[in-house]
């Protein structure tokens, strides 16, 4: 570029960093209309488009400007720019920007609206996504999680036969249903992905009749049919659990599932499914109502029942719904006879006692 003398250009004095070196240069800004040049004693740079300027925060001496796509490039005015040049300079960013422009109260309302929308999306998205998860993925998750229980489920032949009889009675159409009993003292039953249900031996010991267990199994089957477990997993540990890295920490995912309480709506829908199954099987729902009442009240059993209450919120309304569903004048048949019930309760007699399971 040709050299220029001090009076070769008329304009305000500026300081300048070219972005290539740390040397501060003194120049005169020459306005050429849509562009400008920086004229120094021994060189000239430019032209630069006015619209390429970016206003920076206030400098210690004057307002400074950067240049788009040129990191480190800056100029600052030593002289006050003329009105014509000032009109071409970009406006400085205001503190708070749009918050300052619209005011604190409107901005707070806007933030609240965005937050409410985000919460709604978070609450509703898992339900929608759960129905899109392929059955093969759910089955793989269920296989891995069943493995978390050490695959040391209770396998007494008479107890297994009694459990199969119960399943045929309340859910004859669900031939792919896979129900296991494991020897754990907690009063609980959990649904795993892929149509798998795990009953803890502590629940069998706490139940006073096979119909109570049938109601619980029917409730868990309701979660299976509604895909509540997949929705809970998506909400609790993220979609990545289902779509990748499933082998890395399966035990952690099972713990997350055990710590996940279903929504009230999911519990109600699962109860409705259980009531419908028991009605078709002519099994009384009243014992299940008594079971729920014990879960919600017995102080002496609080420690043992906490696991079930934590994963399946119990309310008096749920017990009343089961009780109210009992038909007047209906002759109900027990799910199992006395011998089968005794076999089911002793299904773990040949299984070593486990206080927990290994991951």
Per-residue pLDDT of 150-186, as tens digits, reads 556 788 999 999 999 999 999 988 776 788 898 888 8
pLDDT in the model for residue 286? 95
Assign 3-class secondary structure to 27-62.
EEEEECCCEEEEECCCCEEEEEEHHHEEEEEECCCC
Helices marked H in 93-183: 98-102, 104-130, 135-148, 157-170
**To the nearest whole number, what is the mean pLDDT of the chain?**
76
pLDDT above 60 (res 115): yes
Structure tokens, 46: 């430019």
Mean pLDDT of 326-341: 93
pLDDT band for position 284 (50/70/90)?
A: very high
> Residue 208: is its pLDDT beyond 70?
yes
SS3 23: coil
Let me know if 296 is exposed, middle or buried by CB neighbors in 10 A (0-12, 13-18, 19+). middle
pTM for the complete prediction? 0.56
pLDDT of residue 21: 81
Burial string for 196-211 (b: 16+ CB within 10 Å, else e) reads bbbbbbbbbebbebbb
Q: Residue 132's pLDDT is what?
A: 56
Cβ atoms of 281 and 332 within 8 Å: the answer is no
Per-residue b or e along 256-269, where b marks 16 or more CB atoms closer than 10 Å to that residue's CB: bbeebebbeebbbb
């Amino acid at each position: 570029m040709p050299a220029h003398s001090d009076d070769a250009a008329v304009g305000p004095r500026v300081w300048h960093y070219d972005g290539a070196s740390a040397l501060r240069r003194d120049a005169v800004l020459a306005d050429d209309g849509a562009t400008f040049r920086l004229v120094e004693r021994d060189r000239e740079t430019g032209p630069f488009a006015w619209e390429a300027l970016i206003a920076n925060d206030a400098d210690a001496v004057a307002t400074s400007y950067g240049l788009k796509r040129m990191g480190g490039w800056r100029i600052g005015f030593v002289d006050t720019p003329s009105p014509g040049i000032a009109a071409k300079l970009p406006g400085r960013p205001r503190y708070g920007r749009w918050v300052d422009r619209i005011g604190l109260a409107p901005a707070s309302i806007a933030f609240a609206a965005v937050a409410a929308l985000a919460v709604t999306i978070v609450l509703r998205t898992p339900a929608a996504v759960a129905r899109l998860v392929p059955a093969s993925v759910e089955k793989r998750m269920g296989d891995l999680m069943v493995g978390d229980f050490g695959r040391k489920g209770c396998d007494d032949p008479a107890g297994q036969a009694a459990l199969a009889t119960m399943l045929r009675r309340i859910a004859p159409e669900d031939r792919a249903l896979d129900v296991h009993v494991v020897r754990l003292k907690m009063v609980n039953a959990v649904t795993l992905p892929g149509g798998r249900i795990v009953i803890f031996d502590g629940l069998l010991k706490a139940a006073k009749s096979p119909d109570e267990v049938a109601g619980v199994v029917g409730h868990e089957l309701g979660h299976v049919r509604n895909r509540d477990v997949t929705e809970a997993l998506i909400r609790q540990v993220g979609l990545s659990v289902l779509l990748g890295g499933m082998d890395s920490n399966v035990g952690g995912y099972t713990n997350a599932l055990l710590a996940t309480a279903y929504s009230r709506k999911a519990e109600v829908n699962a109860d409705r499914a259980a009531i419908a199954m028991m009605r078709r099987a002519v099994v009384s729902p009243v014992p299940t109502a008594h079971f729920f009442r014990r879960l919600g009240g017995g102080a002496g059993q609080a420690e043992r029942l906490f696991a079930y209450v934590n994963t399946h919120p119990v309310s008096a309304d749920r017990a009343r719904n089961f009780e109210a569903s009992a038909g007047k004048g209906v002759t109900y048949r027990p799910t199992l006879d006395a011998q089968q019930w005794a076999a089911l309760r002793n299904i773990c007699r040949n299984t070593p006692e486990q206080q927990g399971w290994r991951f």
